[in-house]
Structure 1
């Protein structure tokens, strides 16, 4: 029987009930470990295989061949998994199928991240440099890592986790200073690959494999950015971990005081690590989650439960502060209110549009033609589908902690978004508000999947009733066969969506103003021996530049309008472009 929405099953609920006696506890520990190992192995095998693809990634025909190889390898890895899943769904004992389903879902989650990492390998074929080369955000990350290696100081109020990882890997593999760019190349691939397992395993804290896979695949394919794979991975993981922590807070009375303290400290340390990895999502989710935490606290469960909940919460705060202290100290030292004045297409567009975004390399898009209006109140079919799904989630599944956390996060992010937007002209600051697009859309996806799960569970319960439409004659085999079909559809979506995502990052001349600029730049920087990369599109490559990080100065106190022609500054930004003065 599927778990009820109030039970919020753990990751060990499925496949663990097929052993008996003394072997059961060890099996419950072994199965989650097997899931994790399977997901990680699948995610890393895929990009490793893609290193055998020998194409010219700067030429469009070479890119198309690379995309074809990416799909071919994905099929060779994924189709046998789906065949085993479908076979066990139709033949043999159900217990065996449940075990197979756990491992297949884990593997497919790994492949979802692996397809993006494999595409990055192909886009960077022939160059040791990362997406971005020595320009843009990647150059800033490398400069932060260089500063850590050279002067041993943190990058101000920016989360130091990923720059520290660059610095560490540069020291271990590339000799330290000067190797940051090569280290970033490796980490862009590895961290992109591991995003799939991270998303799946985080959601397995709350959901059964198929539903955890659904959220993991949809979110990783939709949001992951191989240029900065750390930021969206932190967003995807934060929500389910928050939900698991609030569920434990509400049930703290079931624990001993010692267990409450230890578990609270563990959750706090986990939140601290995510905070160091990327802290922005904590700001957007804080208003809703803080209100929800007060509601989840077991105020009426008795004195013992209240004391243990306080012990859990107190140790969680202590663990968070202990691990997150490097960044917390910098925030106190420099202040968290550093002005963000950089505007781009997402700032000029309708702020009520939260189902897509455009970067500062929008190509031919402008605020005149993006976003494309849909048929119903300007909303597209997918927008209506997500809104309906969110309504199902809130309506049928509000007792599930993940539904409440997603809804609270969405509401808090929505309020903060439009608070910053409403003050945009007056304050001349953006304060990164377009990034709330991602977390709002993520919450809608989560609510939609959980709404579908609630509908399936309610429908199954109705059909199983003796007085139901089928007189209770709903076979377990039918349910697992339908679940297997859903897994197949998720795998197909991952293949198609992964190819779309990878194609955006294939090298393209910077004059086109697209996201392919970053891969193009990676092929235009000299290697250590002074030669150009194998497929360099230019004859004269850039020299290697070892830069150090320093905070920028806010000189004008006005918005900087990126991705705009000079003539459009007055009608969009309200002032002439700075370079036209004098």
Structure 2
């Protein structure tokens, strides 16, 4: 359920003014759990009469606005890839690539101008309640458009080829083999989440495609869903503008169209865990039955995400336990906190137990021995996440920093962490994110320190994504709590009317959309076919044009750039994944 706000401390009412009524769900977040002798928070009751009826009426309407917000974000994200199909360019030519990217940005600009106009008009003409509804819908649309552009860019990059990024090579060799086993009713290894294979199987059967071709659609649509996933997950704890400005912006470095589901799991899992820990902090206000229901719901959501990708849960687990011990009100609500956590853990284990056991089996993640460039670099660097293909930067990775080897971006992240601790060290979000990052850091160094002795990697380089995401989020929360502190200070020093003034939300979306549109375009640009280098992600789309199709023919632009069709006729069994080389390659999760 989408929460209204991560509310700061409320300012004192001006002298001579009637105190404002504060609904229970909008009360300020507590500091660290107080002692039993601390006075209980004062709850202002709603006045009797018409205001109560109006509030109840709005609560019923809220059941409509939440699904509408979800539908808006998903619709705007998915409609953009379809719209990009009519961009007719040569994706293998740099002029064609720039033209395609510009066409996407032109369309984004037209839609963004419409959103800004609607929000400014709403600010002038509507009352605060309906104005807030329009802001919700507008922010959801921007979140969807952000990664809809990236998906549209992948659509342009793969124009006139049915093959997906990477053309079924690399990790997709064993992914397609396991999918084929699933389609033939055979058991697949249990150390990897089963949902990706189930989705590929369903999509292939639903649209009568071989799994190799189904991957292209899933890559495009999975990429489009990054923005809605991050935005809607953070709406559990943040208001629309902050969910967009913090959650979606922090998500930008992790968009990975080649294999979207691991990073998609990360950008959703962190806000869900923050929401769970925030609820644990408030568990003393819950009825025991409600605590059980909340826990079961959170456990089911996290279990579903675990079945997509398991690694993030392993690296965040120590931080989750530590944050729970810190935020739980042990003296006044420990029973209900344990009910909440216990039901969440029980449901989680009930759904994921088979995968957990497989994870620690001899063939699980503990046996990973794939050493690549990131395993041989300085272990404290996490300021950029490039997966296993940094491109030209691989010659000097990590980049040389200006201050004792530390770069400016890392310094800015450190300042953001410091500001978050200064303004919000008692806040649930800051405590949770800080603990997640600390736990991932310790596990990273422990696993990296043992790679010589064990000759295994155990996926430790992927903690880079956890560390970068958490520190970006902490920087965003530093801005949030800093703004709240400034507003409280202004409310004391200025007249209430002046202190509450501000620009329309539509205008404040302009700088956010500039960052989002630029980041989306830069991401899509990296995946444009690169005909010169094979150590960049542009190779993933280049090979999709240059590789022969399963029937022996070549994609349209591949023929122009050197792909030669196989004159031998193909029989039906030759295009099935099971006819591929049966050897199992090195797995890079």
Cα 1:486–1:388 shift into 2, 3 Å: farther
Aligned to 1:54: 88
CA offset digits 1:424-459 (Å, max 9, x no partner): 333322222211111101111100110000000010
Q: Does 1:491 align with 2:513?
A: yes
Written as runs of structure 1 = structure 2, the 5 A alignment for 1:11-410 is 20-89=54-123, 93-174=127-208, 179-301=210-332, 305-331=333-359, 333-334=361-362, 336=364, 338-367=366-395, 369-410=396-437
Tell me if structure 2 keeps the 8 A contact 1:346–1:357.
Answer: no
Superposition TM-score, scaled by structure 2 size: 0.85
Tell me if structure 1 keeps the 8 A contact 2:317–2:439.
Answer: yes
Shift of 1:118: 0.8
Shift of 1:405: 1.0
Distance 2:365 2:392 in 1: 34
Q: Does 1:502 align with 2:530?
A: no
Tell me if structure 2 keeps the 8 A contact 1:131–1:227.
Answer: yes
Tell me if structure 2 keeps the 8 A contact 1:344–1:359.
Answer: no
Shift of 1:552: 4.9
Distance 2:53 2:498 in 1: 25
Shift of 1:92: 5.1
Distance 2:122 2:418 in 1: 34
Distance 2:152 2:53 in 1: 38
Distance 2:201 2:335 in 1: 43
Cα 1:184–1:238 shift into 2, 3 Å: same
Shift of 1:165: 0.8
Shift of 1:314: 2.2
Tell me if structure 2 keeps the 8 A contact 1:94–1:477.
Answer: no
Distance 2:186 2:500 in 1: 59
Tell me if structure 1 keeps the 8 A contact 2:104–2:153.
Answer: yes
Distance 1:40 1:151 in 2: 33
Cα 1:280–1:19 shift into 2, 3 Å: farther
Equivalent residue in structure 1 for 2:483, among 456, 459, 467:
456
Aligned to 2:46: none
Distance 1:291 1:22 in 2: 38
Distance 2:124 2:530 in 1: 47
Aligned to 1:567: none
Q: Note the residue ranges of structure 2 that are not aligned, 5 or more in a row.
A: 11-21, 28-50, 567-573
SS at match of 1:99: helix
Shift of 1:91: 5.8
Distance 2:434 2:565 in 1: 50
Shift of 1:35: 1.0
Shift of 1:36: 0.8
Q: Does 1:476 align with 2:503?
A: no
SS at match of 2:393: coil
Distance 1:492 1:250 in 2: 36
SS at match of 1:371: coil
Distance 1:13 1:137 in 2: 47
Cα 1:307–1:34 shift into 2, 3 Å: same
Distance 2:411 2:507 in 1: 24
CA offset digits 1:244-268 (Å, max 9, x no partner): 1112223333333332222211111
Q: Note the residue ranges of structure 1 that are not aligned, 5 or more in a row.
A: 555-559, 563-582
Superposition RMSD in Å: 2.9
CA offset digits 1:395-421 (Å, max 9, x no partner): 211222111111001111111111122
Distance 1:226 1:50 in 2: 16
Tell me if structure 1 keeps the 8 A contact 2:253–2:385.
Answer: no
Aligned to 2:537: 515
Shift of 1:337: 5.2
Q: How many residues align?
A: 540
Tell me if structure 1 keeps the 8 A contact 2:548–2:563.
Answer: no
Aligned to 2:7: 4
Larger mean CA deviation between 502-511 and 412-421 belongs to: 502-511
Superposition TM-score, scaled by structure 1 size: 0.86
Distance 1:84 1:340 in 2: 52
Cα 1:317–1:170 shift into 2, 3 Å: same
Cα 1:352–1:332 shift into 2, 3 Å: closer
Aligned to 1:580: none
Shift of 1:472: 4.3
Distance 2:415 2:390 in 1: 30
